Structure 1
Amino acid sequence: MASEFAAGNYRFIPAVFQYSSGAQANAGYEIERVRFDRLVPLAEGFARIAAYIKDAGRPLTSFCACELRSPAAFTEDGFRAFNQHYVKTLAEWGLFDDTINPVARSNVCPEIDPPAEPSFHAFSFTRASTTTSPSFVIAGGAEARGGPGSYPERIVCYRDLSPGAWREKVRFTVGEMERRLAE
């Protein structure tokens, strides 16, 4: 069930501490997606995002989604450390309260020309609008079941490349995307 994030003028689908499953702009607002010309390392990316949002006359709490690129899959401990660093900035911006994070996120690890460090590819924020069309973003990570446990324990058919495993992974992922869109 979606939760309201009034400070950002959007609703979000709660997920895990490091990201939400998606965000939808409230009435009178829309989500604007901004893509960087090149990948921007995390610290520099946050600084550029803050400047862009402020230049648009919006509060930092309007930040509602980001698209990251990482050099390779993280270990469980490495992912936890990365996320602790990532949410620190969100907390400073008034987006993360040590429990709930309204910002949707995807994190892709490209096999071809991966970045040297985790970097921003794009971000989204809310801004005033006169359109009546719904505006939303959906997060990645749809192949991981919710709940406790490590990512390998929660990923559907983890590392299984058989045709049956692919069918199950696609079935689960499509169902999860449909659930998020319905919310």
Structure 2
Amino acid sequence: MTEAIAFTPGNYHYMRGVRQYSCGVAADPGYRLERVRFSRPVPLKEGFRRVAAHLQAIGRPLTAFAACELRSPAPFTEDGFRAFNDVYIGTLKDWGIYAEGGDNPVARSNVCPEFDKPAEPSLHAFSYTAAHAGAARSFVIAGSAEAAEGKGDYRDNCIRLGDTSREGLLEKGRWVLGEMSRRMAALGFAWGDTTAAQLYTVHPIQHVMAQEMAPHGVVRHGVDWHFNRPP
């Protein structure tokens, strides 16, 4: 089992992921993760400015930035995705969170709304650590599509590429649930510890919810379904 890694400047631990994000974060003892959601997605540069202003206003360092939820206008090409990540990571470098050649501790999801698309990559929500004596343990797991990460081209590693049949969606869903469970376990959590779950798809997956998600306790607090495509 992969062990969580301390990111002391941010007062949280993370599970190592890929260059652009970690697989998940958990607040250290004496801290909790708090989430802020914008009423509408904010263009990335302005969104980061607002994040910095918020953290500074409450006396938290920029390194307390622990997770973010992004919205993009359309799926990227592989080259476009790399270029976008170079810009995104540049901010994390400036904030003292990411060092070239090291890990990226910040968890992330990035999806493309089917309707009401943003004009450019934007920030939908973010999470950060705040001091709170005696706080219950809290965590955020990064989003995952049905493809193993860190193996190069996502297309070449996608579970049942292009298959949106009931059986294909069931296998995709089963793989994603397994990956989410693995990430939580690495941080010391399980589905019974969750307080919210977000689902991203434009396909009918009620049978996946009934056969896989509900039996594992994923929907114990309901599911926040976002009608979005992967990036």
> What secondary structure is seen at the aligned counterpart in 1 of 2:113?
coil
- For 1:58 and 1:18, locate their aligned partners in 2 and report how far apart those are by CA, in whole Å: 23
- For 1:167 and 1:147, locate their aligned partners in 2 and report how far apart those are by CA, in whole Å: 23
Find 2:48's aligned residue among 46, 57, 81.
Answer: 46
Q: Within 5 A, what are the aligned runs for 1:55-74?
A: 55-74=57-76
- For 1:147 and 1:40, locate their aligned partners in 2 and report how far apart those are by CA, in whole Å: 28
Find 1:123's aligned residue among 122, 126, 132.
Answer: 126
Q: Residue 227 of structure 2 aligns with which residue?
A: none
| TM-score when normalising by structure 2 | 0.77
Indicate conservation of the 8 Å contact 1:142/1:176, yes or no. no
1:28-54: CA deviation from partner (whole Å, max 9, x where unpaired) = 000010111221001100111001011
> What secondary structure is seen at the aligned counterpart in 2 of 1:31?
strand
Number of aligned residue pairs: give it: 183
> What secondary structure is seen at the aligned counterpart in 2 of 1:109?
strand
Q: Within 5 A, what are the aligned runs for 1:1-80?
A: 1=2, 2-80=4-82
Q: Residue 143 of structure 1 aligns with which residue?
A: 146
| TM-score when normalising by structure 1 | 0.96
Q: Residue 167 of structure 1 aligns with which residue?
A: 170
Any stretches of 5+ residues in structure 2 without a counterpart? 187-231
Indicate conservation of the 8 Å contact 1:142/1:177, yes or no. no
> What secondary structure is seen at the aligned counterpart in 1 of 2:103?
coil
Find 1:178's aligned residue among 181, 185, 201.
Answer: 181
* CA 1:14–1:142: 2 relative to 1, 3 Å: farther
1:61-98: CA deviation from partner (whole Å, max 9, x where unpaired) = 00000000000110100000000000000011011112
Indicate conservation of the 8 Å contact 1:24/1:134, yes or no. yes
The runs of 4+ residues in structure 1 deviating greater than 2 Å are none
- For 2:150 and 2:108, locate their aligned partners in 1 and report how far apart those are by CA, in whole Å: 18
Q: Deviation of residue 163 (structure 1)? A: 2.5
State the one-letter code of the partner of 1:62. Answer: A
State the one-letter code of the partner of 1:24. Answer: A
Any stretches of 5+ residues in structure 1 without a counterpart? none
RMSD, aligned α-carbons: 1.1
